[in-house]
Amino acid sequence: MPKTLADWLIYLESLHPKTIALGLTRVAEVKQRLHLDADFPLIVVGGTNGKGSVCAMLESILHAAGYRVGCYTSPHLLHYNERVRIAKQHVSDDELCASFAEIEKVRVGRDSSRQDEDDIPLTYFEFGTLAAMQLFIDHKVDVAILEVGLGGRLDAVNVFDADCAVVTSVDIDHTDYLGETREEIAFEKAGIFRQGRVAICADSDVPQAVSDHVNNIGAELWCIGSEFGFKAHQGQWDYRGKAGARSALPYPALRGSFQLHNASAALAALDALKEKLPVSMAAIRRGLTEVHLAGRFQFIPGKPQMILDVAHNPHAARTLAQNLSGLPPCPHTYAVFAMLKDKDMAGVAAAMNPHIDTWLVAGIVAPRGASAEELANVLHLAGVRGEVICFPDIAAAIVHACDVADDNDRIAIFGSFYTVAAALQARGVRVT
């Protein structure tokens, strides 16, 4: 078996012929062999955008309330360990390796009681999901938060039954797997809801597929603007929900105008689980002010102003554009831009075009990565107004941006988790 975490990750990538293979049969079989039965509340968070923010806020508030919290998110930026946190700490290489080894034993039928079992191929994400839950069970967490990787209905996370599930938003993305229309995608995302339990939708325009699915399975639908919501004030905001109102709350430490939608979804989930996981106003306030999530409208200290955002679809790019428009004007905005070629590159460019003066495009060295030339061609066809300059890699684009930008200019780095990860590495910023 592999020895180091790096060796394990290389091995996991080789186990299944496809990077993404949706379906629950294989992962459910290995889960059963591992006897992964959680005796703690489980919150599952899905959606097109905003999943990571809701998970981070839930984790921060529940931690502030004194609970031992397990949190599983993806993808990571710099280190795989970022995906699995217990008590707001990344799990160690040794713990991950030990969990991977245990899963591998049962996956290939090396358990002494299962010598006749067939090997079960698992994807990288499926293996990681099982490892995270195994670690949460071993560490006896009080509550676990799981972020859906792709879609929901057939995502590996959905092999576990949520006590409360959240769909943050529904928009067009991953059409090769989830469908071409918003309603088709909504049906896939609503698959994380469970009968007799609260189903939260934080999208202001609730797709009919979400309502229909909730009715079909007998869940209880809570929608933003109806069963829960918020009102913003200068310097603070109010939340109202099924369990009552919470007034004069501090703004989340996560920047961006859409974060009150995400914070409201997190508080609605806590309302749904208030009997199992009561939280005080003090814990909510502390959790909101202490929450941290790398790569979401993240400001890097210094001049010129540098902003990192993993926005990789038009919905996220529109949110980033709205956030940029809320900042004080600056003389010139440079974009360091790199994307995966199976994403809507033209849609992201169109959303950001009014806010960018110069495009510094770079390739992503990954199987799905677009080259700088491919991305530049998309920008030219989209008719962006600014100059487009190609670079061999993201780091080179960032160096150029820092060389040419004046102190009062702005550098926006966006398009992919790969793009933000390269920027964090280039600037020597750690992910905590």
Q: For residue 72, what are the β-bridge partners?
A: 84, 146
Look at residues 290, 315, 340 and tell me which one is the last residue of a structural domain: 290
Q: Which strand (E) or helix (H) includes residue 289?
A: helix 281-290
pLDDT at 1: 87
432 is a domain residue: no
Are residues 247 and 315 both part of a single domain? no
Q: What is the mean pLDDT of the chain?
A: 94
Residues 127, 20: one domain?
yes
Final residue before a domain boundary, out of 268, 290, 312: 290
Domain that holds residue 406: 298-427
pLDDT tens per residue across span 188-209: 999 999 999 999 999 999 999 9
Residues 269 and 307 in one domain: no
pLDDT of res. 375: 96
Q: Are residues 159 and 282 in the same domain?
A: yes
Single out the residue in 290, 325, 346 at which a domain terminates. 290
Kindly indicate the confidence band of residue 59, based on its pLDDT and cuts at 50, 70 and 90: very high
Given a cut of 90, whether residue 396 has pLDDT beyond it is yes
**pLDDT surpasses 80 at 387:** yes
Q: Are residues 113 and 159 in the same domain?
A: yes
Q: Do 255 and 331 belong together in one domain?
A: no
**More confident of the two residues 378 and 110:** 378
Whether 114 has a pLDDT exceeding 50, the answer reads: no
Q: What is the mean pLDDT of residues 225-245?
A: 95
The CATH number given to whatever domain includes residue 96 is 3.40.1190.10
Residue 15: pLDDT above 90?
no
Confidence of residue 116 (pLDDT cuts 50, 70, 90): very low
Query: What is the predicted pLDDT for the residue at 175?
Result: 78
Compare 342 and 22 and report the one with higher pLDDT: 342
Q: What is the mean pLDDT of residues 82-90?
A: 97
Residue 56 has pLDDT above 90, yes or no: yes
Q: Could you count the other beta carbons within 10 Å of the beta carbon of residue 263?
A: 28
Q: Is the pLDDT of residue 117 over 70?
A: no
Do 352 and 414 fall into the same domain?
yes
What does the pLDDT average to over 39-52? Answer: 96
Is residue 186 included in any domain, yes or no? yes
Which pair of structure tokens corresponds to residue 426?
Answer: 């280039």
The verdict on 30 and 57 lying in the same domain is yes
pLDDT of residue 348: 96
Q: Are residues 231 and 141 in the same domain?
A: yes
Q: Compute the average pLDDT of residues 287-302.
A: 95
For range 313-335, the mean pLDDT:
95
The answer to the question of residue 144 being in a domain is yes
58: pLDDT strictly greater than 70: yes
Q: Answer whether residue 218 shows pLDDT above 80.
A: yes
Whether 122 is in a domain gets the answer yes
Q: Is residue 67 part of a domain?
A: yes
What b-and-e string marks burial along 142-171, b requiring 16 or more CB atoms within 10 Å of the CB?
bbbbbbbbbbbbbbbbbbbebbbbbbbbbb
Number of domains in the chain: 2
Query: Residue range 240-267: average pLDDT?
Result: 95
Q: To the nearest whole percent, how much of the chain has pLDDT over 90?
A: 87
- Clarify whether residues 364 and 408 are in a common domain: yes
Q: Is the pLDDT of residue 172 over 50?
A: yes
pLDDT at 285 over 80: yes
Which pLDDT belongs to residue 168? 97
CATH number, residue 401: 3.90.190.20
Is 52 inside any structural domain? yes
Q: For residue 306, what pLDDT is reported?
A: 96
pLDDT band at 110 (very low <50, low <70, confident <90, very high): low
CA-wise closest residue to 219 among 178, 258, 272: 272
Point out the least confidently predicted range of 149-153, 277-281, 313-317, 425-429.
425-429
53 and 118 co-located in one domain: yes
- Asked whether residue 46 carries a pLDDT value surpassing 80, the answer given is yes
* Mean pLDDT (whole number) for 50-72: 98
* Nearest residue to 117 (alpha-carbon basis) of 26, 38, 36, 37: 26
Same domain, 76 and 107: yes
Separation between Cα atoms, residue 35 and residue 214, nearest integer Å: 29
Assigned domain for 205 exists: yes
Q: Buried (b) or exposed (e) across 273-305, using 16+ Cβ within 10 A?
A: beeebebeeebbbbbbeebebbbbbbeeeeebb
